[in-house]
Chain A
Amino acid sequence: MGKSLSILTKNFKNINVDTIDDYLSAGGYDGLKKVLSLTPAEVIEVVKASGLRGRGGAAFPTGKKWEQAARVKEDSYILCNADEGEPGTFKDRYFLEYDPYRIIEGMTIAAYAVGGREGYIYIREEYGRQKEIFLKAIEAGKAAGFLGDNILGTDLSFDIKVVSGAGAFICGETTALIQSIEGGSGRPRIKFQRTAVSGLFNRPTLANNVESYCVVTTLFNNDAEEYLSHGTEKSKGTKVISLCGNVENPGVYEVPFGITLREIIYDIGGGIKDGRDFKFAQIGGASGPLIPKSMLDIPYSYEDFGKEGYSLGSGAVLVADDTNSVADFMVTVQEFFVHESCGKCTPCREGNRQLLKLAHKIADKKATVEDFLTVKRIANVMDKCSFCGLGTAAPTAMVTAIQHFYDMYN
């Protein structure tokens, strides 16, 4: 489909996942087999060399995270964050439903590399069907000897428990997710030590996103070379994006880093629906910046968007045509954050409240110049003082909207 690829996503809608057979035929568990022939340190080197960065949105270098976890002698819990809640993001849903074994294989590779026997996958409540599929896959994996004791005849033993969320975006934040698994409300916790040292049940924990584990699997199977042949200097490989909004062909696509948003939207996405014009895009979900037409040719990579001060985030690409009002859209973004803020810290709880009011004022065409300055002031407080990433990222949309679309009265 235009310039999209089929490496990480090659199994999507192509294999039957009721049993593990199709997955194996398609090269499944070649990765783990290769991994078991290497030392854990060698495995981590491969992950580091790939430049893989956390695919959930925070983009922390995965190899570095694994290195930190491996340094801890005690066994680590292997956590998979499948609480995909960033609006406009649905790629992990596809992995869960169409390629669950790739996730399991990736988590098993992690167990080997950093030392772990127990895994948890935290699946958002709204992905009920996907959770059932994943549970079946775990059973099938166990029956085929790829989970449980002595996997592939080695000392490696690994099992995965499935935990369900209950409708809280904040539980996608690692410490909040951990708090939720430990029982009760999922409010983030102070990290006196990094999660690798003390996380779930105060034990060493490695937490990664669904797609991150899938990339890891691919780094060790026969598709590794092809995967690494794509991308840019600092962003190697491919990214699975969720393209949605006013485009002809919304969906999950795999793109090489370095492609432009223009190519994503027009070549892969089929352009703006109903013959309308592009107005803005939002990348990385509701926590992401607004992208104006003038930025459509920036290469989609960490470094190129990083130069602008923007993150690629979760990989969501939401396209809005000219029937949309930026000001109204800001109200929607702020309503999301007011709904999903956990309420623990002042900057996020009260800052989002104030930003929603200002967004309404702007949308009602009652805002003054002072109001726009207040948005910037509150955004700065939230950015620098919030307890966790939700509060830090929440004002991004409004700040970039003001930056690029000051005249928001359209």
Chain B
Amino acid sequence: MSKNLLDANQYEEIDKILEKHDMSKHNLVGILSDVQAMSPEHYITKEQAEYISDKLGIFLSNVYDTITFYAALSDKPKGKYVIQICNSTCCKVMKYEKIKHAIEKELKVGIGEITPDGMFSFEYSSCFGACDISPAIRIGEKVYGNLDETKVIDIIKNYRGGTWENL
């Protein structure tokens, strides 16, 4: 994230998000999700958390709690495309490990790591309800199912090549 360019704007952006959520403490999860979405690396910085804590009158320690409690929120930067592979029960019997190995081989990173160019990060996910098309992965918000080793490599290559329009 280019600090200089976004520094000035980001607090205006956050103010807009806070207003959209009625400046209400109750909407903390929604606010944090939206602030996270501002970042191409899908995370919330300490400065942003302090700003939110200040504006909403919530302890910073509680804002941090919320960020770290939920799997969809992060205080640490991720890749541009976050690849999540389900390792829960259905995908287990559908042998998700084969897909996992294929991804690891293609990206040359393991679970919990980010590719050196910052394009992809790879992590496990709990079941996201795509069991009818298992084994499945999520890349960002998109779900890809009925995977085999070839298909999943194709998908990743398409992201790399920018052929598919994705955020």
User: Measuring CB to CB, which residues of chain A are less than 8 angstroms from any residue of chain B?
Assistant: 84-90, 92-93, 124-129, 163-169, 180-187, 242, 244-246, 250-252, 282, 285-286, 316, 318-321, 323-324, 328-329, 332-333, 335-336, 339-340, 342
Contact = CB atoms under 8 A, between A and B. Distances in A.
B88 interface: yes
A242 B127 CA distance: 13
A93 B127 CA distance: 13
Contact of A339 (B26, B126, B128, B132): B126
Nearest to A335: B87
Interface string B22-47: 00111111101100000000000000
Contacts of A329: 89, 92-93
Interface string B137-152: 0100101000000000
20 contacts: A84-B129, A92-B129, A126-B128, A127-B129, A163-B30, A164-B29, A167-B70, A167-B72, A185-B65, A245-B93, A246-B94, A250-B133, A286-B88, A316-B131, A323-B95, A332-B88, A332-B92, A333-B89, A339-B126, A342-B69
Closest 5 CB pairs of A and B: A167-B71, A167-B72, A166-B70, A87-B127, A185-B69
B121 interface: no
Contacts of B30: 163-164
Contacts, number: 136
Contacts of B138: 126
Contacts of B143: 126
Contact of A242 (B58, B87, B131, B141): B131
Contacts of A164: 29-30, 33
B107 interface: no
A300 B40 CA distance: 48
A250 B71 contact: no
B66 interface: yes
Contact of A168 (B33, B70, B141): B70
B155 interface: no
A90 B136 CA distance: 13
B132 A126 contact: no
Dominant secondary structure at the A interface: mixed
B158 interface: no
Interface in B60-84: 62, 65-66, 69-73
For the side of the interface on B, what is the size category? 35 or more
A125 B138 CA distance: 12
A85 B90 CA distance: 13
A166 B25 contact: no
B72 A166 contact: yes
A87 B26 CA distance: 28
B132 A87 contact: no
A276 B145 CA distance: 22
Given A184-B65, A329-B93, A244 B70 contact: no
B14 interface: no
A70 B90 CA distance: 40
A242 B26 contact: no
Given A89-B131, A164-B30, A250-B134, 5 more contacts: A89-B127, A186-B69, A245-B131, A318-B93, A340-B126
B126 A90 contact: no
B150 to A, nearest CB: 18
A333 to B, nearest CB: 6
B130 interface: yes
Contacts of A84: 129
B29 A88 contact: no
B29 A180 contact: yes
Among B66, B71, B94, B126, chain A packs the most CB atoms within 10 A around the CB of B126
